[in-house]
Chains A and B, each alone.
Chain A
Amino acid sequence: MALYEESVHKAFDRIKHSKLNAYITLDKEGALETAGKVDDGKVSGRLAGMTVAVKDCITTKGLLTTCGSKILSGYVPPFDAEVVARLRKEGAVITGKTNMDEFAMGTSTESSYYGPTKNPWDLTRVPGGSSGGSGAAVAGLECRMALGTDTGGSVRCPASFCGVVGIKPTYGLVSRYGVIAYANSLEQVGPMARNVSDAALLLDVIAGHDPKDSTSVPHDACYTDHLVEDVKGLTIGVPKEYFGEGTDKKVDNAVWSAIMKLDKLGADYKEVSLPHTKYALSAYYIIAMCEASSNLARFDGLRYGLRIGKDENWHTTFSRIRAEGFGEEVKRRIMLGTYALSEGYYGKYYLKALKVRTLIKQDFEKVFKGVDVLAAPTMPTTAFKIGEHADDPLSMYMADIDTVPVNLAGVPSISVPCGFAGKLPIGIQFIGGFFDEPKIIRTAHTYELNTDFQKLPEGF
């Protein structure tokens, strides 16, 4: 049997026996067809024959796209997202659509209508969210790499919890055309892979200007060119606000060891401050929920997706479909966002959050005048137990404290494994200035080459 077809069979075999629930939809037929074409030399490209899984909020032509929700169950998009089109053009073998928190709202992939995904390192724990399916699929060898989306840390969190690499690119670097919006001013599609070079390769393919997305920025860079082992002369800033209360001691230690390691490899480090970090979480949730309340208004069952009830007026029909079609976390955010945008509250909440956002952006701009990259924990803890935060959504929101400022500012960040707490992986993130992906990739790559944390979970 031909090489790539065989690797597809292997991956699907693994998925078949998997306990991870990393996928919502599989496309074995399509994957085998593409792999066959690569084997026959009919298809080539930078990702030729490589298996890539796609988060279920990214539309795929002819392939079910549910966003982890009931309301979009049965929705088959008539077009490909720009990033998916780019994958296909480079010969990628798309294995299927990965599980996620419903409409990407979550830090754990527990809120999926299709059941939670499990962490390959410990099946009683969450893989992180909302791109938990992508993170678990990569860590569990159910694909070579995957696409996630990062709105407030949704690529980096599962990368950290699952012990893989994830990149949140600069806002505007990757097209959002075909990404089902949760909070569109914050989110970017990001690559996930088992090492920095694969992640950089995937970024090479998906990055680049797209006239179909007005926020897409023309920016030309080849990220794989920056896979060099060299951090000499690089100044690493260590923002003290990212090591605050709630940060697990083991995480703290692992991240500091990583910084020391880089120091030994020739980089300098210094403590810095991003003073408005303490407001980031509140601002983030207000902006995200406001945008979500508007973005999710289109799901009314009229043209696609779930349709329940008939012979009623449209008002009743819409309400019933939305009441039955949305999960609890989504409803919570829609209602809070609707409230915060309504007359009399807009200025009090939304506008204020935008002001905070500006201050946070200025924090980053200021700090990057003195340092090349920032190093900080990706998540304040390791993966938590499934159901641990079920009754207390606020405590889960707190977990995003180290990731959301990056999304508010629009700067890039990469998360790479930097140690273990027991058997659970810990992640460190390197944050860069606008379009400084080359620098953070170089830092992460150098670090990865000089450490030994790219392990496979037990039994994989």
Chain B
Amino acid sequence: MQRNILLFSFLFVPVLLLLMFVLYPLFELIRLSFTDWNGMDAKQVYIGFDNYMKMFTDSSDVWLSLRNNGFYFLFHLIMIPLELAVAVVLDSKIRANKFFKTVVFMPYIINGVAISYMFAFFYSPINGGLNGILEVLGLESLIQNWLTDESIVNLSLVFVSIWRFSGFHIILFLAGLQSIPQDQFEAAKIDGASSIQNFWYIIVPGVKKVLEVLLFLNVVGALQVFDIPYIMTQGGPGHASSTFTLYTLETAFKFNNFGMASAMGITMLVLIIVLNSVQKRLFNLKGVDEE
């Protein structure tokens, strides 16, 4: 009896909150994706799969935005081996490694909106920091309109994202490295293993779990990129630096097309699940011989 009272009183509030603010909205999102609701009228007409059809056939900006998400995904993916390398270095007995760890992780803690404005200033064409530095280095030929040139704006934004999140990945790798038992390295040393062999046969399998988490976070993160482009370029010029989330929220709250936006939201959820399971399968295929 006392047990049931406890279970009820301890779980009621958390579960209620979860149902009201997480799960009910999910089901609402699915339902709304089949309507033409504009967010205000009481009237919601069910229109079947029209929103989904329209999204895939009639909206080139959706594809453009998705391609931009692809940029974030790709570049963060390329960074992963480099981040692992830095983590290995920081894990070794180098001087001041605590200082380096603290500095490397710092960007992840800083307010994302502040970072975005900071880089808007850094990239600014009039006396911006980056162009100023290029000038001092005698590299005037590299000076660009970092945020208004369609061909380069996404790279500029991806760099901000890497600046912000790489340290977080490095710290995760460090945690993985510290969980590798030291005697494996000692045994390898006795067998005369080179540092490259150490890397492939001890370190990479040792951080497999972290790699898996990172690959998942990369899919979710890349698909959800929002605040950096929203603050720095509002998705512009045109929709050149828009992302899927930015476009979705614009569709809902700027153009009052909640039905369409819901369909996009559900599409993102499906994309996250599909991409992640594909990635996991590929990862495990490759990982079999390492076990």
The answer to whether A binds B is: no
Q: Give the A-binding residues of B (Cβ under 8 A).
A: none
